[in-house]
Structure 1
Amino acid sequence: MQYDRVIWGKFIERPNRFVAQVEIDGAVETVHVKNTGRCKELLLPNVDVVLSESDNPNRKTKYDLVAVNKAGLGLINMDSQAPNKLMAEWLSTQGFDYIKPEYSYGASRIDFYMEYRHKKYLLEVKGCTLEKNGIGYFPDAPTERGIRHIHELIRAQKEGFAACIAFVIQMPKVKEVRPNVETHPAFGEAMVKAQRAGVQVLFLGCNVEPDSLTVDPKRIKGKFF
């Protein structure tokens, strides 16, 4: 996936989860943050950030904050919409007969429903931006919604679907994601139950550039079809 009209800036502060103050060419600009998560380990004073200029002249903010440079690791894409967009692009190259995003199942909307030769698939996508010692962790904050989706996938697997949880790793070098049990133990417990039930786990490592996010074929781990 591509971003248009990107520029660099210096992060100053984040008054709330929706906006940040960023220095651009010596001037302070209020920008939209495309991730409502905490991201406290990423958005530190004076770090370099990447901004994408909006094409909507009626917006209150001119720029979206889409990536941040983390010392010792490199550029991390923190756009929460990017994982599903990237997954849609990647799935379109995988030979499925039919792909439908935002599929209603049970009490949830699962990110993707696919078909291949009469086999039905359900895929839930999680973006990962939290890294410790070369390992990715999810979630960075408690997610009851995430647990509900896992239980839906367990039920779908029992009903004959091929169910999968895919982690889109929005940073370089990292090859796998582990449940962040320190932050949300219940998520780790749900993941164990899912894998025991046959739900597959897929990791998609990404190449991150200021103006793009692409799947790194060398960092794809796991299969479900």
Structure 2
Amino acid sequence: MRYQNIREGRFVSRPNRFIARVEIDGQEEICHVKNTGRCRELLVPGASVFLEKSDKKERKTAYDLIAVKKGNRLINMDSQIPNRVVEEWLRKGNLLGEGAYIRPETKYGNSRFDLYMEQGKRKIFMEVKGVTLEEDGIVRFPDAPTERGIKHIKELCQCIKDGYEAYIMFVIQMKDVKYFEPNKRTHEAFAQALLEAEQAGVHVLAYDCFVEPDAICLGEPVEVQLI
């Protein structure tokens, strides 16, 4: 997945979860933040950020904030990109092999899952979660309590009972991490639900990403520690 018209800037402040003030070439600009999560450990004053400039004149903001440098680590924080990255990876024959049927955004029960797939007799639902929270090489999800996330996990368990396969894919939007774990400190109920889902047969996967200022693609498997 590639972005266009990338510019580098310096983060100044975040008045609300949708916008940020960023300095570009000595001039302060208001930009759209493509992640409504807290991201407090990423968006700190003075941090180097990367923005995609839009050519749509009707937009209120000319830039989208898509990536940030945390020390020497480049982290993509575009919350809209993990689904597209996984779909791109699957369509190249990964996980299911060549020729699999893949359909994004498929309703099942009371949820709308990110991906539905068929390969031969296999029928599979997958939910995708982007991960940007990192501490000493350990990556965690979520960075804020998510009742919606628990709902999705429980619906995946129902898929298993109904005869489908079910996956939850954590897309770690950075490279060079040690392992993934659910963020028990932030939302213990989510961590418990994820463990119970794995025990019920839901496949829990985590993959890191190759990240550049103008690109991101799925990388290698990362160890998952649920206990």
Tell me if the contact between 1:165 and 1:200 (Cα under 8 Å) persists in the aligned partners.
yes
Q: Say if 2:38 is the partner of 1:38.
A: yes
Per-residue Cα deviation, 1:118-154 (whole angstroms, up to 9, x for no partner): 2100100000000111111000001110000000001
- Name 1:16's counterpart in structure 2: 16
Aligned-pair distance for 1:55?
2.6
Name the aligned partner's letter for residue 92 of structure 1.
R
The Cα RMSD (Å) is 1.2
Tell me if the contact between 1:127 and 1:167 (Cα under 8 Å) persists in the aligned partners.
yes
TM-score normalised by length of structure 1: 0.95
Name the aligned partner's letter for residue 6 of structure 2.
V
Q: Secondary structure at the match of 2:84?
A: helix
Name the aligned partner's letter for residue 91 of structure 2.
S
- Name 2:159's counterpart in structure 1: 156
- Name 2:147's counterpart in structure 1: 144
Aligned partner (choices 176, 182, 189) of residue 179 of structure 2: 176
Name the aligned partner's letter for residue 69 of structure 1.
K
Deviating beyond 4 angstroms after TM superposition, the runs of 4 or more aligned structure 1 residues are none
Aligned partner (choices 184, 188, 197) of residue 185 of structure 1: 188
- Name 2:129's counterpart in structure 1: 126
Rate the CA distance shift 1:78–1:12 in 2: closer, same or farther, 3 A: same
The within-5 A match list for 1:1-225 is 1-72=1-72, 74-94=73-93, 95-174=98-177, 176-216=179-219, 218-219=220-221
Task: Write the distance in 2 (CA, Å) between the matches of 1:75 and 1:29.
Answer: 22
Rate the CA distance shift 1:93–1:221 in 2: closer, same or farther, 3 A: farther
Equivalent pairs counted in the alignment come to 220
Aligned-pair distance for 1:192?
0.9
Q: Secondary structure at the match of 1:43?
A: coil
Percent of aligned pairs sharing the same letter: 54
Aligned-pair distance for 1:71?
1.1
Gaps of 5+ in 1: none
Q: Secondary structure at the match of 1:45?
A: coil
Name the aligned partner's letter for residue 23 of structure 2.
E
Q: Secondary structure at the match of 1:2?
A: coil
Gaps of 5+ in 2: none
Aligned-pair distance for 1:176?
3.2
Task: Write the distance in 1 (CA, Å) between the matches of 2:179 and 2:61.
Answer: 35
TM-score normalised by length of structure 2: 0.94
Task: Write the distance in 2 (CA, Å) between the matches of 1:112 and 1:126.
Answer: 12
Q: Secondary structure at the match of 1:36?
A: coil
Tell me if the contact between 2:205 and 2:221 (Cα under 8 Å) persists in the aligned partners.
no
